[in-house]
Structure 1
Amino acid sequence: METWKNMADVERLVGMGKKTKQGIGPDTCLLLDTSGSMEGANFEEMITIAKTFIKGIADYATAPDLSENIGIATFGEQTRVVHHLTNDYSKLLETLDLLSPAGPSPMSAGLYMALACCLGRASLNKKMSKAEHTTIHRIPVTFRVILISDGKGTPDIVSSGEDDFPVNLETTVMKHIWLNETITHFEKRGGAIYCVGVGDTQTEMMEELCNKTHGKMYSPGEVHKLIHMSDNTTKAIGLLDRNVDFENIGELGKMKLRLLGIPESNVDEVVRLGEYYQEQIKERHYFREFIDVDMPPVGARVRRGPDWKYENQDQNGPGTIVAHTGFTSVCVVWDCENTNRYQCSPETAIELLVVDEPRILKEELIAVGCLVVRGEHWRYDDEDGGVGNVGVVLDVLESGMTLVRWPSTHKKLYKYGSEGFFEVKLCDPKTVRGTVGQLKTHVWDSGNVLEAELSESSEGATAIIPTTTKATSKGEIIEASDKRKPKSLDNKEWTIEDMNKRNSQLRKTKTTESDDQAVKSQKPNTQMIVHWAYKKEDSWSKIPMEISLKMEKAYGRNKQGSIIVELEGNIWKASFSEMKMKCEKTRTVMDIQRKEASE
Structure 2
Amino acid sequence: MASASSRNQLLNNAREEAEKNRQSLIQYGATCANYVTTVFLLDTSTSMSGEGLEQMKKSFKDIINEFSKHPSIAENVSVITFGEEVKIRHYYSNDYGSITRCVDDLECSGGSPLEAGIIMCLSGIWSAPYCNMGPFHVRTRIVIITDGIPTQYDTRKYLEIYESHGCNETTASVIDIVRQIGRLNPIFCIPVGSNPDICFLGTVAMESSGGKIILKQKAQQFGRYAINMMLASTAIQRIPDECQFSREAIKLEVSRLQSVSEEDLDDICEIIENRDAYRSLMELREEDERELEKEYEERYADMPCVGTRVRRGPDWTWKNQDGHGAGTVVGHSQRVGWIRVEWDTGLELPYRYGNNGLFTEYDIEPYDEPRILEDQPIAVGCLVRRGRDWKWGDQDGGEGQIGTVYRLKTLTEIYVRWPNGNKSNYRFGYKQKFDVELCDPFDPDVADSLKKQTEGKTAGPSSCEDKISGHGNARKAVVTYFRNDSISYNSNSKESVLEPPGKKSDIATIMNKQTGISDHSSDTRSYRIWQWRGQNGVWNEFTKEANKTIESFNSKPTMATCIIDLNGHLCRIHLKKKKMVNTITKEVTDIRLKDEDIPSNF
TM superposition score normalised by structure 2: 0.44
Task: Give 1 or 2 for the bigger CA radius of gyration.
Answer: 2
